[in-house]
Amino acid sequence: MHCPSAEHEGFTALASAVNAAVQSFPQNVVCRHLDQGTLTRAHYRFILTTIFHQAHSSPYTFARAAVNCSWKHATAKEYLIQHAEEKRSHWRWILDDLRELSYSGADPRKLPPHATAQAYIGLNYYIAEEVPVARLAIALVLESIGAVIAAEYGRKLLAVLKLEPSQASFFLNHAETDKKHSRELRAVIESCHLDDEDWLWMVHAAKTAGQLYRAMYDHEDYR
């Protein structure tokens, strides 16, 4: 039975989890380096190669979630496939940035992912298989983080490392697109008429995504 009050409570809990992830994210090592002006180009190249695998795999976990999502959540199913298509080539921005930085290391496509990236990717595949509608909650966490902090820290990145915009296209492009996507995701989630179990998984996925996504910017290799 449709219960508007339960839906309201579920979305409130999800919003709280997303807000907590957004607020805690700037406490990571990379953002603290930027705040202190101590980030190096070596750090930055490592950031790009760490998050590459997340960006490379992301569209396919959206598509997988779309396939597995029930038609009772038709709006979510359709948005997941749309979002997969929109994200399909974003990993190329990272390769562009590395090229502009005169990166001479191994092609990230031929390297295994960093353990933190692998953990985050694993979450995406697990949710896409087990509770596919909750893939929207993970996306909302990332898009909300980007919408709130990407512009600020993108500017700091350019200033601290004296970069050209062409050397930071991945972060600068997301500073704009994430604002739009976070609004879209909230609207799609609110339209889904989720039950209590769905909301439980949405909140769980958001909390876990916040922890694992931050870990990619917070591990010992940046210290």
pLDDT tens figures, 159-199: 999 999 999 999 999 888 899 999 999 999 999 989 999 99
Domains annotated on the chain, with CATH: 4-222 (1.20.910.10)
Give CA–CA dist 110/68, Å, rounded.
29
Tokens representing residue 88 in the block: 């399909």
Give CA–CA dist 135/131, Å, rounded.
8
* Residues whose CB is less than 8 angstroms from the CB of residue 158 and which lie 6 or more positions away in sequence, other chains included: 164, 165, 168
- Residue carrying the six token digits 């949405």: 202
CA 185, chain centre distance (Å) = 13
End-to-end CA distance of the chain: 51
Share of the chain above pLDDT 70, in %: 97
Q: Which of 30, 21, 25, 26 is nearest to 157 (CA)?
A: 30
pLDDT tens figures, 99-111: 999 999 999 999 9
pLDDT tens figures, 24-55: 999 999 999 999 999 999 999 999 999 999 99
Q: Which of 90, 86, 84, 77 is nearest to 60 (CA)?
A: 84
Using the predicted structure, report yes or no on whether residue 74 has a pLDDT greater than 80. Answer: yes
Give CA–CA dist 181/60, Å, rounded.
17
CB-based burial of residue 144 (10 Å sphere; 0-12 exposed, 13-18 middle, 19+ buried)? Answer: buried
